[in-house]
């Protein structure tokens, strides 16, 4: 097999040989490998940090390659494949499935209102900067249009880049999905504007923060009844999505929003798919929250959201996601053994009902994993605290966060 620094470069239509120096000019490239010895030195160093015996890595070699390819931070991105895997990839590419079908996907004319920049600026007054990501940025804004039924209302105004074909596809899919959904546990989209080379999404503003901010707050950790409240509200949103034949596929701590009013809402539908055409195989999402079947490259369905949800609830209990110190190790263990038997940092703090709830939802075999609707019927959910209690908790959580940012509390 091919040894570094000379490797086989794979375009999926043709094969050429290239050096590492030449390969750096390529956006993505892939290499045939059939055993651990074929992998490059930097990958071997990464494998040592995973602290998993070589015999286990060899036993699950194709799985390991899936993980290495997904989590590779090398620029340009590398993909390591066996000959057998390449054949599977070719077949999948010959019959690609669209993320959304026509029952959900809107034509551009229905998804967006096309306006020029000065018109768009006249519609909303921008106030507070809220954050940013790979998509662009988010600001708090207020409607300035007196004829607007939402005149004076404050929104989260999200700016999405809309220049490349990929960005255009992802934007119209997300806008279509949000317009398709109507549920109190799904963030609301009021309108979408096409402005120059951007899409401006006028969204519901939530005073509070995300589950990551809530879970890492050491001053006011969550009690079991408070976790049950967040679990119930999140499951209601998931149950609604799944009944609409939509899988989110990127449920994680950043995509569950909590407000000081006690609201819990699912956000960010950039990777969501219409499941009405059947299971998917694509490996997408965030590594620490990814379900075993997706990591293994198997057909997946709504169960991936249930697994991710359980990881989020464990994060609220433990104040961190499982195996957060090594992403590749976390993915390998999830795909081969599932969730650890020692799920809780402090097991004595939690009830039998909560432990059973986590174990059931975190079942490794997707066909045995309960649905969101079934988990809503579990005894643990009945222990949820009243809304006034969660309001008080979230006011405390996000006040402490705000004071910490200003250096007032440590």
Binding residues for ATP: 158
Rounded to whole angstroms, the Cα distance separating 79 from 28 reads: 8
Q: Give Cα 177 to chain centroid, integer Å.
A: 16
Q: Please name the residues in contact with 23: beta carbons below 8 A apart, sequence gap of 6 or more.
A: 7, 9, 29, 76
Rounded to whole angstroms, the Cα distance separating 224 from 339 reads: 20
Q: Write the burial class of residue 80 (CB in 10 Å: 0-12 exposed, 13-18 middle, 19+ buried).
A: buried
Q: Write the burial class of residue 191 (CB in 10 Å: 0-12 exposed, 13-18 middle, 19+ buried).
A: middle
Nearest to 33, CA basis, from 78, 98, 76, 74: 78
Please report, in range form, the residues annotated as the binding site. Answer: 158
> In the annotation, is 250 catalytic?
yes
Q: Identify the active-site residue in 37, 38, 102, 250.
A: 250
Q: Report residue 402 as tokens.
A: 């705000």
Rounded to whole angstroms, the Cα distance separating 309 from 378 reads: 15
Cβ pair 295, 66 in contact under 8 A: yes
Active site residues: 250
């Amino acid at each position: 097999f091919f040894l570094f620094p000379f490797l086989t470069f794979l375009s999926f239509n043709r094969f050429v040989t290239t050096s590492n120096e030449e390969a750096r000019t390529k956006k993505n490239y892939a290499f045939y490998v059939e055993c651990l010895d074929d992998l490059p030195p930097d990958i071997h160093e990464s494998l040592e940090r995973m602290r998993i015996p070589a015999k286990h890595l060899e036993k699950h070699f194709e799985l390991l390659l899936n993980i290495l390819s997904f989590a590779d931070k090398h620029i340009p991105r590398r993909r390591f494949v066996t000959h057998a895997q390449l054949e599977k990839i070719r077949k999948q590419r010959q019959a690609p499935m669209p993320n959304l079908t026509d029952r959900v996907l809107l034509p551009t004319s229905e998804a967006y209102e096309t306006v020029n920049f000065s018109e768009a600026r006249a519609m909303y007054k921008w106030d507070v900067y809220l954050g940013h990501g790979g998509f662009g940025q988010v600001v708090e804004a207020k409607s300035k249009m007196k004829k607007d039924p939402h005149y004076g209302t404050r929104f989260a105004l999200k700016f999405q880049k809309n220049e490349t074909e990929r960005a255009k596809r992802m934007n119209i899919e997300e806008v279509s999905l949000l317009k398709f959904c109507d549920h109190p546990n799904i963030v609301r989209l009021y309108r979408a504007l096409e402005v120059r080379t951007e899409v401006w999404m006028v969204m519901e503003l939530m005073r509070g923060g995300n589950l990551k901010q809530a879970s890492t707050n050491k001053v006011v950790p969550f009690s079991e009844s408070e976790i049950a409240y967040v679990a119930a509200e999140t499951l209601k949103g998931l149950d609604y999505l799944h009944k609409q034949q939509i899988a989110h596929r990127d449920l994680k701590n950043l995509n569950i929003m909590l407000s000081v009013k006690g609201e819990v809402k699912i956000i960010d539908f950039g990777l969501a798919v219409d499941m009405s055409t059947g299971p998917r195989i694509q490996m997408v999402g965030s590594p620490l929250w990814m379900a075993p079947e997706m990591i293994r490259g198997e057909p997946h369905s709504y169960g991936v959201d249930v697994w991710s949800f359980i990881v989020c609830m464990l994060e609220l209990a433990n104040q961190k996601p499982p195996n957060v110190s090594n992403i590749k190790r976390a993915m390998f263990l999830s795909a081969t053994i599932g969730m650890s038997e020692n799920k809780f940092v402090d097991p004595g703090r939690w009830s039998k009902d909560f432990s059973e709830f986590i174990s059931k939802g975190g079942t490794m075999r997707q066909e045995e994993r309960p649905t969101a609707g079934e988990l809503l019927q579990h005894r643990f959910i009945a222990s949820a605290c009243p809304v006034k209690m969660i309001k008080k908790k979230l006011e405390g959580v996000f006040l402490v966060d705000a004071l910490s940012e200003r250096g007032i509390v440590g």
